[in-house]
Structure 1
Amino acid sequence: MSNTKSSLATPSVISDFKEITKMRLALSVVFSSLAGYLLGVDVVDFKTLVLLAFGGYFMVGASNAFNQIIEKDLDALMKRTQNRPIPAGRMSVNTAFIIASIFTLLGIIILYTINKQTAMFGAISIFLYTCVYTPLKTKTPLAVFVGAIPGAIPFMLGWVAATDDFGIEPGTLFALQFFWQFPHFWAIGWFLFEDYKKGGFFMLPTGKQDKGTAVQTIMYTIWTLIISIIPVFGFTGKLQLSIVAAILVFSLGIGMLYYAVRLFKEMTEKAAKQLMLASVSYITLVQIVYVIDKFI
């Protein structure tokens, strides 16, 4: 019996570590920052690429761990989060705090070795996510606006890591990922509406699953679509897009817009879930098209 227990304990420790740092989310953020780096760099330096990947992962992992410490009582109320390590009692707050603190230090130190600006933006993202976005989630739907700022930093962070410069190019990458987050988050807020309500979270712009929320979702999807093709017009310095890539990116945007309009028509949790999945595919594919277009 004790053998069975010990063999089960190891994977649960690993899975709890993945959960407290939200590994899948962290890896998607790392993907964004690496895409931004590849867009900004003239010659790829694999050492910087590795440092950015680890630094980015530590920063996101730290933000997520701090978030779960702060929200532990609310997480216990929601089906989606009640099995997280802290509310489920598998990890103490102290352990989570140690992980979060070590990750913060490692993240800032690693990003600082790339350049100071990269470390600064990394630190700003942790601060905004933990100290502003997290407390606001139970107060106002504007929390999504605040949360979109740290959420949009990674794509831009990669460019800053590559160039040590903040200008129109990383600003455009930031804007693209910033506006994209509204339809993405509101889709999640829609299909998890009842669960979020148990935790007292206000995620939808009108506070309800109504036409007002659906219209705003469409509007922000259109903004995302417009920003995504701006580099083809040559206003954005070194950040450029060929006509073929712009058509591809625009088509991906139309795909996401289709699901946003469908949410408006159907007003169902199923439609919201489909929009969320479409939004994840969209941002990943757009970043891949941007990078491939640069190197072809």
Structure 2
Amino acid sequence: MIVRGSGLVVLPVRTAGRNVSNTRITAWTAATAGRAAGQVRTMAGGLRPGRMELFVPTGALREGIARSFWQPNGLAGLRRFAAEAAAVEQEAGRPGRPAAAEAAAEAAAPAGAPAPVERRRRPQSLASAYLALAKPQLTALIVLTTMSSYALAPASDAAATGQLPSLLFLTAGTALTSAAANAINMGREPEFDAQMSRTRNRPIVRKTLSSAQAYAFAGVTGTVGAALLYWGVNPTTAGLAVANIALYSGLYTSLKRVSIVNTWVGAIVGAIPPLMGWAAADVAGNGWSVWTAPGAWCLAGLLYAWQFPHFNSLSYTIRNEYRAAGYQMTAWTNPALNARVSLRYSLLVVPLCLGLSYAGVTDWVFAADSTVVNAWLVAGAVAFWRKSDTATARKLFFASIIQLPVVLVLAMVHKKGLWDGVLEMAGLGPAAPAAEPAAPAAPVAQAATP
């Protein structure tokens, strides 16, 4: 049913809707009904020789028992599985380990074999659980894109002197409002997060925290973060942050199980932090210059476009999990569209970077070196469009996580006017205009002599 040829199969086993951590059964076949085999094939998304991971429904294990082991540790693996399955099911208030699996393990075990060692999942501390609610990696990315935009805004030059508190308020406020949006998102989706490998270890899924605690955490962090931005930066930046909380935790989260439009809405969420950074740099104008600044919209557009090759390639590698959880993603609803959108927005990144030079945010050297980096992203998107598979998706995803920080760093290195003083000192920049000769003094009128 599962092994083809003599390939070895690695199975993380899911029991009673919860994951049995670090459980592996090597090279086994199961005598089960065709229905259970069909479930395994559907959830696996195809079988192949070699190392792989499958989520096996409990029913498939209850209806069939292991009967063939091709590894010396195969018996011990089955016994460990039986012990861990019992521990998880007892914790969930369900019956103990499957009698068929237990009987098979005990009957096949050689005399004097050591008892199985039960490995339980390490409990999560409250501090780490609340930190996980904030999605620290995603929050760090949002803070970095906000800071990059702040640094690139022309107004930040004027704000650089005596405005360190404003920058600190911006950093803290952005991180806290991002944490609030992420916590609400987690609080709304624990039953669906439990069905996906990338989200099933979140604190609400593991019962370390409840949804009510997540909402309370979001209320505190969101209120404090918005207050820091309003009083420490300006009302425009605070308004953008509050709008992003509503957009992400409200509209985007609601749309994920309704329509593929959720991806486009989520991209808007990622495009707002650069606008926040640009508005924060406008100390004198309370951030209003962001609405008419071409550079701000080029940065926002860059983050908007980048998210499609990044997320579409990521979601393709776990498309069957999205489908099982009921999330409407183009990766499984329309893989061809998923690849086309990735390519389309990868191409859009190139003129958006050129727009930063045209708008006077960066010098024209940035237009050249950013194009080299963006060409790598485009090449990955072309390969993914021509042949959508896990290999090309992973290459595109890797290119996306390198491309964005490199482009932002290059933009800051090539900020317009940053190197003018250095070039002048080296004699390579435009010479300062010579001082004009002083105008001759006006003749003093002499009084007429009598």
Return the TM-score normalized by structure 1: 0.91
Equivalent residues in 2 for 1:172-251 (5 A)? 172-204=298-330, 207-210=333-336, 212-233=337-358, 236=359, 239-251=360-372
Q: State the Cα deviation string for residues 142-170 of structure 1 (Å, max 9, x = none).
A: 10111111111111210111011222221
Partner of 2:210: 92
Tell me by how many angstroms 1:12 deviates: 2.9
Structure 1 unaligned regions, length at least 5:
1-7
Residue 112 of structure 1 pairs with residue 112 of structure 2: no
Q: Return the alpha-carbon distance in structure 2 between the equivalents of residues 24 and 287 of structure 1.
A: 17
Partner letter of residue 120 of structure 1? G
Look up the SS of the partner of 1:42 in the other structure: helix
Identity within the alignment, %: 27
Residue aligning to 1:5:
none
| Structure showing greater relative contact order (alpha-carbon pairs closer than 8 Å, 6 or more residues apart) | 1
| 3-state SS, counterpart of residue 138 of structure 1 | coil
Q: Deviations over 1:187-239 (max 9, x none)?
A: 122112111112111222772333x3212211111012211111222xx3xx4
Q: Is 1:254 aligned with 2:375?
A: yes
- 1:162 corresponds to 2:281: yes
CA contact (8 A) 2:196 2:325 kept: yes
Structure whose CA Rg is larger = 2
- The answer for the alignment partner of 2:406 in structure 1 is 285
Aligned 8 A contact 1:141 1:205 in 2: no
Q: Distance in 2 between matches of 1:15 and 1:197?
A: 30
Alignment match, 1:82: 200
**Counterparts of 1:79 and 1:240, CA distance in 2:** 41
SS of 1:178 mapped into structure 2: helix
On the 8 A contact 2:380/2:395 being kept in 1, the answer is yes
1:57 is aligned to 175
Residue type at the aligned position of 1:195: E
Distance 2:145 2:255 in 1: 25
Distance in 2 between residues matched to 1:246 and 1:24, nearest whole Å:
29
Moved more, 158-167 or 273-282: 273-282
Choose 197-206 or 173-182, whichever is displaced more: 197-206
1:63–1:130 CA contact under 8 A, matched in 2? yes
* Cα distance in 2 for residues equivalent to 1:100 and 1:195: 27
How many angstroms does 1:116 deviate by?
0.5
Instruction: Indicate whether 1:34 and 2:147 are aligned.
Output: yes
Q: 2:261 aligns with which of 142, 145, 153?
A: 142
Structure 2: distance between partners of 1:288 and 1:174: 16
Task: Check whether the contact 2:183–2:218 (CA below 8 A) recurs between aligned residues.
Answer: yes
Q: What code does the residue aligned with 1:99 have?
A: F
Aligned 8 A contact 2:134 2:180 in 1: yes
Are the equivalent residues in 1 in contact too, given 2:152–2:361 (CA < 8 A)?
no
Contact map agreement 2:319 2:332 (CA 8 A) in 1: no
Which has the larger share of helix?
1
SS in 1 for 2:361: coil
Q: Distance in 2 between matches of 1:28 and 1:176?
A: 14
> How far apart are 1:56 and its partner, in Å?
0.7
Aligned partners of 2:320, 2:249: CA distance in 1, in Å? 24
* Aligned AA (2:263): V
Rounded to whole Å, the distance in 2 between the matches of 1:267 and 1:51 is 44
Q: Which residue of 2 aligns with 1:130?
A: 249
Q: Name which of structure 1's ranges 14-23 and 139-148 shifts more when overlaid on structure 2.
A: 14-23
Q: Does 1:102 align with 2:220?
A: yes
Q: State the distance in 2 between where 1:274 and 1:108 align.
A: 38
Which residue of structure 1 lines up, in the alignment, with residue 135 of structure 2?
22
CA contact under 8 A between 1:124 and 1:150: conserved in structure 2?
Answer: no
Counterparts of 1:240 and 1:95, CA distance in 2: 43
> Which 4+ residue blocks in structure 1 deviate beyond 3 angstroms?
none
List gaps (5 residues or longer) in structure 2: 1-121, 420-450
When the two structures are superposed, what TM-score results if normalisation uses the length of structure 2? 0.60
Task: Classify the secondary structure of the residue corresponding to 2:414.
Answer: helix
Counterpart amino acid of 2:197?
K
Give the Cα–Cα distance (whole angstroms) in 2 for the partners of residues 278 and 65 of structure 1: 29
1:153 equivalenced with 2:278 (yes/no)? no
Query: Matched residues in 2 for 1:86 and 1:262: separation?
Result: 38
Q: Is the 8 A contact 1:52 1:110 kept in 2?
A: yes
Retained in 2: the 8 A contact 1:63–1:100?
yes
Shift in Å at residue 73 of structure 1?
1.2
